[in-house]
Amino acid sequence: MNWNCKTYCFVLGPFLAIFFSFNSVLRAQDNYSGQRQQMVRWQIEARGITNKKVIQAFRHVERHRFVLPEFINEAYDDCPLPIDEGQTISQPYIVAYMTDVLELKPTDKVLEIGTGSGYQAAILAQICDSVYTIELFETLGHKAKALFSELGYNNIYCKIGDGYKGWPEHAPFDAIIVTCSPTHVPQPLKEQLAEGGRMIIPVGKSPFQNLVLLEKKKGKIREDKVLLVRFVPMLDEEGKTY
């Protein structure tokens, strides 16, 4: 067979296209990986988060998978980002801080109120045994559940409903994390916190709230204000604020 330049181009063309396309994907993945490592170094470790399990979770979970396509280039920036239904994905440091103060163990069962994009639940799932997460908005809850399945998280359990009421069927919980702000700590969540358990929750009206850390010991709950934050309000099923 007489091979010439045109023949080579014809035969190799499709393979070259696949090769360069694959390389583009790898470069994009490497780029996000680099951004993620920089996020961990400068936004989390530099601010005093030293828990190795928390840091490893942030190195592993791909935040760009949990943001809207139009914000993907900002996925690793030091700020919250809008998601559907007027909600937000929290600033990476706040997610890290709230996770860190829970002092999670590998055997822990955690309740999350406010699934949102699913990023916080994915971080928790890297550290503890199981995560039960409740989302008021169906669109957000179903989207997050599909993403958990796609990413292989088989220890995250999702529910659409009113987070104020918690998830009594699976209580008590070793830890509870709330990512929306009521004006007071919901009594059902206090009751569903296990002995020795911890809860982190933003409490107060807009625009700023106090991040409150609760710990249950001998049936009594101690509350400490630990940080000034800004979260979306906690809503009931009629859209009214708690």
Higher pLDDT, 31 or 175: 175
**Amino acid symbol at 94:** I
**Residue 39 backbone phi and psi in degrees, to 5:** -60, -45
Q: Which active-site residues does the annotation give?
A: 90
Does residue 208 lie in a domain region? yes
Query: How far apart (Å, rounded) are the C-alpha atoms in residues 142 and 138?
Result: 6
119 within 8 A of 63, measured Cβ to Cβ:
yes
DSSP class of 237: T
- The region of weakest confidence among 19-28, 170-179, 192-201, 215-224 is 19-28
Structure tokens at 110: 């955690």
Average pLDDT over residues 99-116: 98
Residue 13 lies in a domain: no
Whole-prediction pTM: 0.87
List C-alpha distances in Å: 101 to 12, 168, 187, 205, 210. Answer: 56, 23, 21, 23, 15
Whether residue 21 is predicted with pLDDT greater than 50 in this model: the reply is no
CB 222 within 8 A of CB 215: yes
Could you count the other beta carbons within 10 Å of the beta carbon of residue 194? 15
pLDDT confidence of residue 95: 98
Please compute the mean of the pLDDT values over residues 52-70 and round it to a whole number.
97
Q: How many domains does the chain have?
A: 1
Range of the domain at 105: 42-229
What mean pLDDT is predicted for residues 27-46? 85
Residue 152 sits in a domain whose CATH number is 3.40.50.150
Identify which of 167, 161, 100, 101 has the alpha carbon closest to the alpha carbon of residue 135: 161
Domain assignment of residue 10, yes or no: no
**Residue at 11 is within a domain:** no
Assess whether pLDDT exceeds 80 at residue 170.
Answer: yes
Q: How many whole angstroms separate alpha carbon 26 and alpha carbon 8?
A: 26
pLDDT over 70, % of the chain: 88
- Residue 190 located in a structural domain: yes
Q: Please give the mean pLDDT across all residues of the chain.
A: 90
Pairing of β 193-203 and β 173-178: parallel
Q: Using CA atoms, how far apart are residues 165 and 49, in angstroms rounded to an integer? A: 31
CB 188 within 8 Å of CB 176: no
Q: Is the pLDDT of residue 19 over 70?
A: no
Q: Mind listing the pLDDT tens digit for each residue in 195-219?
A: 999 999 999 998 899 999 999 999 9
Taking 50 as the threshold, does the pLDDT of residue 191 lie above it? yes
